[in-house]
Structure 1
Amino acid sequence: MKFQVKLIACLFTVAVVANAQAADKFIILQSTTSTQNSGLFDHLLPVFKAETGIDVRVVAVGTGQALKNARNCDGDALLVHALAAEQQFVAEGYGVKRTDVMYNDFVVVGPGRDPASVAGVKDAVKAFKTIAEKQALFASRGDDSGTYKKERELWNAAKVDVKTASGKWYRETGSGMGATLNLGVGMGAYVLADRASWVAFGNKGNFKIMVEGDPELFNQYGVIVVNPAKCPNVKADLARSFESWILSSKGQTTIAAFKKNGDPLFFPNSPQ
């Protein structure tokens, strides 16, 4: 009888430890609203979990905020899209390394009446300059996201100081991509968006893609494992498993298979 009690207690302890280990088998992924809102993670992460048993808990914010969160050791890995900021993050020792994962592009969308007459323009900088000259409404995310960083690059290249136009024709929303698109449609304002968010967006109204195809609108995503030397709480082994999988042929094939209305939203380009 005593042996049976000890055996049951032992089995109970093993079960508790196993459950605790399973519950702890997750990583926090700091990522962007575009990857989340497009539905990519709903497609991608169940496949990863089925193969590895690792759960991924996504924090979807702008790239700048994602990098800031990771600097505060709140996260195990990142999947973001602002190359210069990512490289700086790694150079400062917060990331182990940065690797290309996939890409798509940015597009300028606007109302069907096209008040700035930029539809079909292949030069994004020229389109931005024209929007400013005609003082056509433009809705900006106004945050530290990868999309906003790209937008500021384009305004700078067009030699337009949007600070002087803030609150006039230039409206900063301080919101994510979906909310900014909603506000843009409501105001009849042009918006710079990543293509995946635009394709997945459901409240297009009479809005259309006005500017696309310029190499300046290229949008690269990278994966980074947070450096455990900076953040000892990082689940480095699990994060490396995610990094290895998403860069592998299976991860890349799974990304390529994600489509809306038959069109791919992201194009894998891992160097592996």
Structure 2
Amino acid sequence: MSQRLTGSLLGLALATGATVATVAIGSPSSAADPEPFVVVGTSDVFDSFLTQTVLEPGFEKAYPQYDFQYVSRGTGAAITYAQAGTADAMIVHAAALENQFVAAGYSDEEYGRAIFWGDYVLLGPADDPAGVLASAPHDIAGAFARIAAAGAAGTANFVSRGGTPGTTVQEHAIWALTTGTTTCTVSAANGGGASPSTSTGSCANPIALPSWYHATGLTQGPNILNGDVCNYDGGGCYVFTDRGTYNYRASKGQITRLGIVTRDNDAAAPGGVPLLINSFHAYALSPEKFADSPNVDINNEAALLFLDWVTSPETQQAIGAYLNESADPPFLPSAAPSLTLDDPLPTTVKAGERISVGATLANVTPGTPALDGVLVKLLATPPGDPTGAPVLVSAGTTDGEGHVTIGYRPQADATYTLDVGPITKVEDATLDPVFGDLLAPTSLTIGQVEVQGRLQDVARSISGGRLTLTGVLAPVVPAGDTGQLVLLAAQGQRELKPVGTQVVRAGAKKFDVTVRLGAGTWRYRLQYVNVGVIRTAQTSVRSVTLS
């Protein structure tokens, strides 16, 4: 963003209660001052301290010319903030709202980039008046129904953030799957789903909430603390939240009464496994969308650098390592798909033999559709030249389950890699507009295969003191290279030694070797040599008598 917007950015943040990680005010920056780069986004990544621990310091270290500033908002409010032209990039987690942002032309790219995923959890008190932990530890819709029943009986409360944060949008999707609870229908513009209400039909504005349901309007961390204090009649507060924020706040001793009572929705439960999956995407704002707004200057260069940085393997690893002391990380990398090999490659094949490479390409975020129709390339690199450019030798396209089979006849020793370029994928076609995302390229080194050379159809002829050998060799010598035919011979039981060589030019398929030997009986063997390209081929030892 341009420096001229910094003052209005601060004023807007203070007026709305937004959290700004770093704010620069004052005169325009000098050449030595970092340039402001503003990211507006979900409070999940801020209240969990992922922003302060990984994103902000990591990006500023990689690009010290920028001052990373994060404005913490719920997803719906973050989108509104971005659409005002007061941010350069955005991190959000509500597909039913992101699709509208993209359709309106605010994204610089076709869709947002997948950056990481986590999970939602339900927190409850130790006495668990709704009996969630015992009856619905892996059934979030069932847990909500039990809380609603206990709330109606005056023994439980549900503490929601309200509004349109990504967490509330997902909460509404869950309420739509519950039974026995009076709900109203949330509009598609607000993410869809349902909300507890005293009346049915379309939700009013504001929603007529039952007495046991509380919409605080807080960001993620403060909302958990509100439920932990539970200053509501009847007590027994439950909070639906992301596990990253809960883990961080609990690790700091800030949460003393609440613990996880439901997580990891069972596949057989309503909504299945995806119902508690929390998927995050990052967007660069489109400068073209604000072409007619002279007071808006989107820092598109910084935004695209950030998208490339946050989806890089190094940053993805750092995200996955955050809060991972118990090998149960709350944020898992999702920028690139997984690529797994069906079976190991053979270490050696005979020249002319075909190898079959089977692999599966999959989006690592649970609940996403198969990656079908994706081109997977098979690349080869000579083992003696690991820094050389890989060469495309074959390719295949994934089927409806993301599986691909690639056939190839190796012509030389090589290390093989499967390579997949950037992927554009519609992840939810049931939404209108559809929701899609961008996945980063990925590759997988699958092993080294050596090619055993072959000498076939070897025939000999004798003329005077000359021995002539003809036949077919495989594989052919690669372009730009040469091989050698070496005839080893000896009389009696002496050691076979080279008695003649012949250069094999690139592309040659047949050979014709003639060597003059003295009179007598000779033992001989022919070799096809191309060091670093194939395993040496050789005939068996044979005998010939020359006059």
SS of residue matched to 1:253:
helix
- What SS does the corresponding residue of 2:172 show, helix, strand or coil? helix
1:20-48 CA distances to partner (integer Å, 9 max, x unpaired)?
24435231001111101111112222122
Higher helix proportion: 1
Q: Out of 3, 21, 32, which is 2:42 matched to? A: 32
| Distance (whole Å) between structure 1 residues aligned to residue 281 and residue 219 of structure 2 | 20
Q: Does 1:203 align with 2:254?
A: yes
Pairwise CA distance, 1:167 = 5.1
62, 75, 84: which is aligned to 2:87? Answer: 75
Q: What does residue 126 of structure 1 align with? A: 142
CA drift at 1:265: 2.5
The residue identity in structure 2 corresponding to 1:79 is I
* Pairing partner for 1:166 from 196, 205, 209: 209
Partner of 2:264, secondary structure, is: coil
Q: Which has the higher contact order (CA 8 A, sep 6+)?
A: 1
Higher strand share: 2
SS of the residue 1:230 aligns to: helix
Structure 2: gaps spanning 5 or more residues: 1-28, 184-195, 199-207, 231-235, 266-272, 292-296, 337-439, 441-547
1:88 to 100, 108, 130: 100
Indicate the structure (1 or 2) with the bigger Cα radius of gyration: 2
| Residue of structure 1 in register with 2:334 after alignment | 269
C-alpha distance in 1 between matches for 2:141 and 2:53: 34
Worse overlay, 40-49 or 109-118: 40-49
SS of match in other structure, 1:168? coil
Following the alignment from structure 1 to structure 2, what is the Cα–Cα distance between the partners of residues 205 and 251?
A: 32
Indicate the residue corresponding to 1:218 in structure 2.
277
Map of 1:11 onto structure 2: none
- Aligned counterpart, 1:227: 286
Counterpart in 2 of 1:137?
157
Give the whole-Å Cα distance in 1 for the aligned partners of 2:301 and 2:31. Answer: 14
Structure 1 distance, partners of 2:98, 2:173, is 16
1:143, 1:175 within 8 Å by CA — same for their partners in 2? no
Instruction: Write the distance in 1 (CA, Å) between the matches of 2:51 and 2:166.
Output: 18
How far apart in 2 are the matches of 1:139 and 1:259? 25
Alignment coverage as a number of residue pairs: 254
What letter matches 1:46 in structure 2? P
Residues 181 and 191 of structure 1 are in contact (CA less than 8 Å); yes or no, is this contact kept in structure 2? yes
1:227–1:234: 8 Å Cα contact kept in structure 2? yes
User: Matches of 1:180 and 1:39 in 2, distance apart?
Assistant: 15
Task: Give the AA of the match of 2:92.
Answer: V
Q: Which residue identity does 1:203 align to in structure 2?
A: Q
Contact 1:26 1:238 in 2 (8 A): no
Q: 2:314 aligns with which of 241, 250, 254?
A: 250
Confirm or deny: 8 A CA contact 2:119 2:330 kept in the other structure: no
Query: Is the Cα–Cα contact under 8 Å of residues 282 and 307 in structure 2 kept in the other structure?
Result: yes
From 240, 247, 252, the counterpart of 1:192 = 240
State the superposition RMSD in angstroms. Answer: 1.7
**TM-score, normalised relative to structure 2:** 0.45
Secondary structure of 1:20's match? Answer: coil
How far 1:84 sits from its partner (Å)?
2.0
**How far has the Cα of 1:103 moved from its partner?**
0.5
Among all aligned residue pairs of Structure 1 and Structure 2, give the percentage whose two residues are the same amino acid: 31
